[in-house]
Amino acid sequence: MAEFLLEIFSEEIPARMQKRAMEDLAKMVSDALAKNGIVVENPKSWVAPRRIGLCIENLPNQTPEVREEKKGPKLGSPQPAIDGFIRASGISSIDEARIENDPKKGDFYVVDIVKPGSKTTEILANALPQIIQSFPWPKSMRWGVGNLRWVRPIHSIIALFDGALVDFEIEGVKSGNKTEGHRFHGNGVFEVSNYADYQNKVANANVMIDREDRKAEIMRQIGDICAANNLELIEDIGLLEEVCGLVDKPVVILGQMDESFLDLPPEVIRLTLRINQKYFVLNSKTTGKLAPNFIVVSNVAAIDGGKAIAHGNARVLAARLNDARYFWDLDRKTTLESRVEKLDKIVFHQKIGSLGDKVKRIVELAGELAPIVGADVELAKRAALLAKADLVTEMVGEFPELQGVMGRYYANNDGETQDVANAIMEHYKPVGPSDYVPTNPVSIAAALADKFDTLVSFFAIGEKPTGSGDPYALRRAALGIIRIILDNNLRLPLGIRVNGELQSFFLDRLKVYLRDEGYAHDVIDAVFANQDDDLVRIVNRIKALFEFLKTSDGENLLAGFKRATNILKAEEKKGDLGQILVVNPQHLKENAEKALFSALQQNDAILTEKLQKEDFACAMKTLAQCRAPIYDFLDNVLVNDNDQNIRLNRLALLQNLRQQMRQVADFEQIRG
C-alpha cells in the first residue's frame, strides 16, 4: 500500500475561501479514485495562505483486473448478429467463444473478457489536471497567456505517489517534488520525498499547515498577552477563523491606541477594529470596559518584537477612528426626525415603494398593535417613525452593521425617551435564532409592525420564499414574530393581521420552530388539526400534550383511543357512518357501556371549563378519567350487536369519545 501527497502552491488564497477549498480538494480527489474502484479512507487535507494540500494513505499500486462474462447470440443465429458480437467482445473469431446451455433458451455463445487493472499513478495523472481545471472556487482568475483559472496564480505542484512523481502538466506548470516555505522566514525552495518529510521541512520553513494548529497558537499567544497586561479578550470566533487564514505562522502583537477614542460608542470602535483592521478587541479587567489596546496577528516575526508593526497599525487605526469621530460629530448635529424625509428618496422595493412609504405603514401599524402589547400608542408610533432614520446617517453609511444601534445613540442625543431610543435599536430584533427578543412593549410594537409589514408587502406582490431561496429573509421575519409573541406571551391571533396564505406560512414556520425545540412532529400535527391561530395557545397545548403522553395515563388512554377509533374507521369504510350519531340512554344495556356514557357526560362540563381557562394539563387529566371505562367497554362489550339500534348506539358512544378528545387534540395523528 502506498501514500499519495499533493500540494498546490500559489499566491495568497483569500482567507474566506480556504476551509471550503480544503474540503473540496479532499472530496474531488477521493471521488476520482472511487470512480476507478479505489476506496479512500480518512484523507488528510490542509490549507495555508499560499498552499492547499492533501495526503491519502494506504492506496493500492493499481486497481485489480476485472473479469466479465459477456453473453452472445444463440447458436445458429444470423451471421450479422455473430459478427456484431465478435466486434463488441474484442475477439478475432467466434471460435474464441465458448458455448453454454440454458435449459430454457438453448445453447448460446459466451466470452470471458478480462479488463486489466489501472496503475494508480495513471489514474491520478489523468484526474488531477481535470480537478484543478474544474475546481469550484467562488472567484478565480487567469494569468499569463494560458486559460487555466485558479484562485491565484499557481507557482508549483507537488504530486508524489509512494515517493515517485505523478507526472502531468497543466498550462505550463509541471508536477514535481519542490515547494517553499514562509514568504519572509522561509529557507528557499526545497525538495520533499513523502508526507512526513513534507511536514518536517515545511514546519522548519516556518509554515503551520494545519488550520486548527494555527488557531490554537493564536489563542495561546493572546492568552499570554492578556494575562501579562490585565486584559481580557472579547471572543470573536469568526475573526479567529479569518485571521488564521492570513498567516503561515502567527505572531501575536499587542497594540496601543489613543485613549481619547474611547469616548466613541464602543460598537463603533469594535467594528472598526474587527471589520476594517482585523484586530481583536480587548476589555480592561480593571474597568470591565473597552481597553485602549488591540491585538494584531502578524505573519512576520520582527527583530524588534513587533514594536514597529504595532506602531504602524496604531497609526492606521487612528486614521480610521478619526473618520468615525468625524461621522459621529457630524451626525449629532442633525436630529433623527429631520432625516425621516430623506427616506422617501430611498427605494425599498420597486413594487412596494420607498423606505419612507414603509415607515408610514409601520407607524400606523405600531399604533394599532400598541394597545394589544401594552405599549403607549404615541411612543410606539414615535419609535416607528424614527426607526429607519439612522440609515441616512454618515456612520451607518460607513458601518451598515450599526443600523439601529446608532439610531439609539442619536435618539438619546436628541432627547427622545429611553423607550423610544431602545425601540429604534430593538425593532430589528431578533435577527437570528441566537439573538435576544425585545421585551419592552414599545420595542415589541415597533418590531412586530416592521416584520408584519415586510411579510404582508412581499406576499402581496407575489415575492414568497421558495425551496431554493428566500432573498428577502421572510422566513426569518416570520420566525422573529413567532419568537416575540411566544417569549412575551402575547395574545395576538394571526387571523386579525394576515390573510389565509400568510397565516399558513406562519404556522408552517411555527412547526419548524417547535420541531427544533424538540417536540415530536405527530404531537404538533395533532394540535394543529384544531386550526387555531393563537400561537401562545397552540404552543401551550402542545407542551401539555407532549408531557401528558409521557405519563402512563397518557400512554394507556392513547392506546385505548386507538382501539376505539379503529372500530369506527372500519365501520366508516363500509359507508354505514355518514353522520354523527346521538347516544340514546334507553339502548344502553351493559354496565360497561353505561359507565362509559356516564364518564363522558361527567367530562363534558369539566373539559369545557378547563379548555376555556386554557388549563390544558387539567384537560388532559380529565380525559384520563375515561381510561378505565374505555378499556372496560372495549374488553366486555360487543360493538357490532345483532340489534341495529344497539350497534349504532355503541358506535355513537365511540363517536362521542372521539369528539370529546378532539376538543384537546386530534389523537388519531399521534403514532403511539
Residue pair 125/168 in contact (Cβ under 8 Å)? The answer is yes
Say how many C-beta atoms besides its own lie within 10 A of residue 569's C-beta: 12
Say how many C-beta atoms besides its own lie within 10 A of residue 507's C-beta: 18
C-alpha grid cell, residue 94: 467466434
Query: Of 91 and 444, which is predicted with more confidence?
Result: 444
Residue pair 410/336 in contact (Cβ under 8 Å)? The answer is yes
Average pLDDT estimate for 389-402: 96
- Main-chain phi, psi angles of 114, to 5 degrees: -110, 120
User: Does residue 242 sit within a domain?
Assistant: yes
- If asked whether residues 105 and 140 sit together in one domain, one would say no
User: Does residue 539 sit within a domain?
Assistant: no
Radius of gyration for the alpha carbons in the chain, expressed in angstroms and rounded: 37
Average pLDDT estimate for 556-573: 91
User: Does residue 625 sit within a domain?
Assistant: yes
| Cα separation, 517 vs 498, whole angstroms | 25
CA distances to 203, 306, 308 from 303, rounded to whole Å, are 20, 7, 10
Residue 642 DSSP SS3: coil
Q: Sorting pLDDT into bands at 50, 70 and 90, what band is 343? A: very high
pLDDT digit string (tens) for 122-145? 999 999 999 999 999 999 999 988
- Domain harbouring 357, CATH code: 1.10.3210
- Contacting residues for 209 by C-beta, under 8 A, at least 6 apart: 46, 47, 48, 51, 53, 199, 202, 203
- If asked whether residues 358 and 472 sit together in one domain, one would say yes
- If asked whether residues 468 and 427 sit together in one domain, one would say yes
Q: Dump the DSSP string for 129-141.
A: HHHHHT---SS-B
User: Does residue 469 sit within a domain?
Assistant: yes
- If asked whether residues 435 and 399 sit together in one domain, one would say yes
The pLDDT of residue 146: 83
Q: What secondary structure letter does DSSP report for 107?
A: E
Average pLDDT estimate for 373-399: 97
- Main-chain phi, psi angles of 47, to 5 degrees: -150, 140
- If asked whether residues 103 and 172 sit together in one domain, one would say no
Query: Of 78 and 160, which is predicted with more confidence?
Result: 160
Residue pair 249/20 in contact (Cβ under 8 Å)? The answer is no
Domain interval for residue 377:
343-487
Residue 363 DSSP SS3: helix
Residue 433 has pLDDT above 70, yes or no: yes
| Cα separation, 36 vs 640, whole angstroms | 66
Distance of CA 329 to the CA centre of its chain: 40
Q: Sorting pLDDT into bands at 50, 70 and 90, what band is 578? A: low
Residue 580 has pLDDT above 80, yes or no: no
Single pTM value for the model: 0.80
Mean pLDDT across the chain, nearest whole number?
94
Say how many C-beta atoms besides its own lie within 10 A of residue 171's C-beta: 17
| Cα separation, 274 vs 327, whole angstroms | 18
Picking from 272, 298, 331, the residue at the C-terminal end of a domain is 331
User: Does residue 529 sit within a domain?
Assistant: no
* H or E element that contains 69: strand 66-74
Q: Sorting pLDDT into bands at 50, 70 and 90, what band is 488? A: very high
Q: What secondary structure letter does DSSP report for 640?
A: S
* H or E element that contains 601: helix 591-612
- If asked whether residues 567 and 422 sit together in one domain, one would say no
Residue pair 328/265 in contact (Cβ under 8 Å)? The answer is yes
Name residue 161's beta-bridge partners: 4, 164
Burial code (b: 16+ CB inside 10 Å, e: under 16) for 98-121 equals eeeeeeeeeebbebeeeeeebebb
Name residue 111's beta-bridge partners: 70
User: Does residue 259 sit within a domain?
Assistant: yes
User: What single-letter amino acid sits at 484?
Assistant: I
- If asked whether residues 354 and 396 sit together in one domain, one would say yes
| Cα separation, 615 vs 654, whole angstroms | 25
- If asked whether residues 367 and 446 sit together in one domain, one would say yes
Residue 273 has pLDDT above 90, yes or no: yes
User: Does residue 37 sit within a domain?
Assistant: yes
| Cα separation, 210 vs 207, whole angstroms | 9
- Main-chain phi, psi angles of 374, to 5 degrees: 80, 25
Say how many C-beta atoms besides its own lie within 10 A of residue 471's C-beta: 9
- Contacting residues for 292 by C-beta, under 8 A, at least 6 apart: 256, 257, 258, 259, 261, 262
Picking from 487, 508, 536, the residue at the C-terminal end of a domain is 487
Q: Sorting pLDDT into bands at 50, 70 and 90, what band is 576? A: low
- Domain harbouring 658, CATH code: 1.10.730.10
C-alpha grid cell, residue 87: 466486434
- If asked whether residues 662 and 557 sit together in one domain, one would say yes
Number of domains within the chain: 5
The pLDDT of residue 468: 80
pLDDT digit string (tens) for 634-665? 999 999 999 999 999 999 999 999 999 999 99
- If asked whether residues 421 and 450 sit together in one domain, one would say yes
User: Does residue 237 sit within a domain?
Assistant: yes
- If asked whether residues 196 and 55 sit together in one domain, one would say yes
The pLDDT of residue 575: 74
Of the listed ranges 60-74, 298-312, 418-432, 591-605, the one predicted with least confidence: 60-74
The pLDDT of residue 58: 94
C-alpha grid cell, residue 560: 385505548
Residue pair 539/486 in contact (Cβ under 8 Å)? The answer is yes
Picking from 463, 487, 511, the residue at the C-terminal end of a domain is 487
User: Which residue do the cell numbers 430454457 mark?
Assistant: 104
Which residue stretches of 374-430 are H helix? Answer: 377-386, 394-398, 405-414, 418-426
* H or E element that contains 290: strand 290-298
Average pLDDT estimate for 1-13: 96
Q: Is the bond into 430 cis (omega within 30 degrees of 0)? A: yes
Q: Dump the DSSP string for 446-461.
A: HHHHHHHHHHHHHHHT
pLDDT digit string (tens) for 618-633? 999 999 999 999 999 9
Query: Of 201 and 493, which is predicted with more confidence?
Result: 201
Residue 6 has pLDDT above 70, yes or no: yes
pLDDT above 70 covers a percentage of the chain that reads 99
Residue pair 545/624 in contact (Cβ under 8 Å)? The answer is no
Average pLDDT estimate for 48-59: 97
- If asked whether residues 217 and 259 sit together in one domain, one would say yes
C-alpha grid cell, residue 608: 369545557
Average pLDDT estimate for 391-412: 96
